[in-house]
Amino acid sequence: DTASPARRADAARAAPGFVRAALGAGLAPYGAEHHACVAGLLGDGDDGVRAAAAERLHEFARLAGPDVSLLLKPTAALLRDSSAAVAAATLPMLPATLSALSAGKSDARRDGELSDIAHALVALEGGPSNLAWRMQAGVA
* Sequential pLDDT tens for the chain (140 residues): 578 999 999 999 999 999 999 888 887 788 877 899 999 999 999 999 999 999 999 999 999 998 999 999 999 999 999 999 999 999 999 999 999 999 888 888 888 889 999 999 998 876 555 455 555 555 55
Task: At 91, give phi and psi (nearest 5°).
Answer: -70, -40
What is each CA distance from 16 to 13, 58, 78, in whole angstroms?
Answer: 7, 10, 17
pTM over 0.75: yes
